[in-house]
A and B are shown apart, each in its own frame.
Chain A
Amino acid sequence: MARITLDNLAHSYRANPTGEQDFALKELNHVWNDGEAYALLGASGCGKSTLLNIISGLLHPSQGRILFGDRDVTHAPTAERNIAQVFQFPVVYDTMTVRQNLAFPLRNRGADPAYIASRVQAIARMIGMESELDHKARGLTADAKQKISLGRGMVREDVNALLFDEPLTVIDPHMKWELRTQLKSLHREFGHTMIYVTHDQTEALTFADKVVVMHDGRVVQIGTPEELFETPQHTFVGYFIGSPGMNVIPARVEGNKAYINGSHIPLGRAYAGLDGDVAIGVRPEYARLSDSEGLPVKLRRVEDVGRHKIVRADFFGQPINIIAPEGATITTDMNRVVFDPAHINVYRDNWRVEGEAA
């Protein structure tokens, strides 16, 4: 087990990258602490898998270094890094039985047969395939095959890190919860460093201590689920996390007021001299309909999703979402909206600006 340090890391799939747009993974400095569970969250094609493959050594970065502990492993082959990785689509060895599949990584490292047998049994119990151990892997369902892949990833106890590349995509929903719980308990038991790639925010937020959000080849924010919710550092984090995502409304910000179309909204903090593309971001949870205070909105639609209602509205020509609590009644004269000043974030060119106390 080891702390994993990424030092000035960047990767381009082109031989001669000419500019930043050629990089699938833009320059990145980050330390993955030993024994923590991370989720790597981002839309498809944002460089998540690239980063994972660089850590496991399947890809060699165009620039920068990777350190395991104090050892530079940038050019070390995958075998030397002793990493387990599970891929999005199942990879099983067709001609082997389930048991042989699970034992394969241990056998390749010359482990003791008695140890292998007990370990395989334990993993089979974990993935719920004890009764199928002697079946041939060929001909199993995609679901079962992916469980075998997961099992092969978890069978070694001494790995430096466990990497998961959207491993539950092909798994049935009820099994997803089960397996994710198993992964969490495995993490608690052995304290492996785990990096879990996903584009599903629920998966990320429930699995990880820290969530790393990537966008367009760049890490835009690293934080606890709470930090991502309260203070998204980039508008992408705001959109991507939350359902529905954060409302981003272009505005002019002066001092502790934001001006939209001549009207103003009070802000919790003061901002000086903002230029460029300025916008305010408010989560739908911190917006409230009212019949007397705030600024005018035009209600478009109310969706009752059970726990609460989502109000789709039109705010100076811009669509916004407002979450109303379950019991709230929405009447036709509630045509104004109030934003909670303490939870308004201000963005310049999509990046959050930290204001001064007002």
Chain B
Amino acid sequence: MIRLEPRPDPSNIMIGLTPIFAVIATMIFGGMLFVFLGKNPVDAIRMIFWDPVFGEHAFYYRGQILVKAAPLIMIALGLSFGFRAGIWNIGAEGQFIMGAVIGGATGLALYPLDSFLVFPLMIVMGSIGGLLWALIPAYLKIKFNANEILVSLMLVYVAFNFLIGMVTGPLRNPDGFNFPESRSFQDFPSAHNPELWAGTGIHWGVLTTLGMVIFAYIAITRHIFGFNVRLAGQAPRAAKFAGVDPNKMIAICLGISGALAGMAGLFELTGPAGKLTTTFPVGYGFTAIIVAFLGRLHPIGILFAGLLLAITYVGGDIIQSQLSLPKASIQVFQGMLLFFLLAVDILVNFKIRIGKGISK
């Protein structure tokens, strides 16, 4: 008989090992999925995990990995604070969109102004856009006790419709033959977020993300704020006695995640995406939830998790073109990863005992 025996303290070894177990389990079961789809599983897994980094065309893919990892990491960093404190912002996708729309609109309003201040101003406005959008669920939670999970998620659909309204209305490219898209930021040098070194994929967002990882690391491990966040998550009552205001916590955690998601949206818009279109949101806000958990809500972990998920995105593009598998198969793969991670998580807090009897 299999029994679960609680550990006195969470196992530090398991905290590090379980994400690796989850990735291995995903490879095995993902491989089975590909067999089911009639493909060679070894080839498929190699294309997803190996080819983007070391394969024949890796010089191109490596840049793509950074481009995709940056928004994932930046959003996940913001989410990790709230998740630690038990505040569930799952509407990062909406905040990502609003950051891009508000920041993008600021830039478009200044078109074709030639000033080095335009891009920084857009970054600030993008962050504020995401911040304000995230403060809606925070306000409704604090004031009316409304569930932040449902409100933030509903606001994703509102934000998406707002984006459609904007690109078919006020933000539509005046010289664009009525297509539902904005002016391209590539034609607007002072608002463009270019690739800084050709072929590396590094743009301002990638650099900012790296800075944010360090910043978040200090905040969570060395600063009283990080301590309060962890306290509020693990012992809400103790946190209250220690003078942590739960309402303030809600506002700060949602605010941070919103601002970071908004900023990620702005970098994505002015760089890799290039312009606002109805297909601008590609689900980074949701995948970032997986990144946050896979990275154990820790900044350094999130850095690696973001890179890994970015690799699977690029690998997904490869299997799509080479094995003609639908794009969604990689989404299944990512969902599986989160499932296995949650499943093996039990090893952190419990020992598995086989056989009867109580251990001494």
A, B co-complexed: no
| Residues in B lying within 8 Å of A, measured CB to CB | none
Residues of A within 8 A of B (CB): none
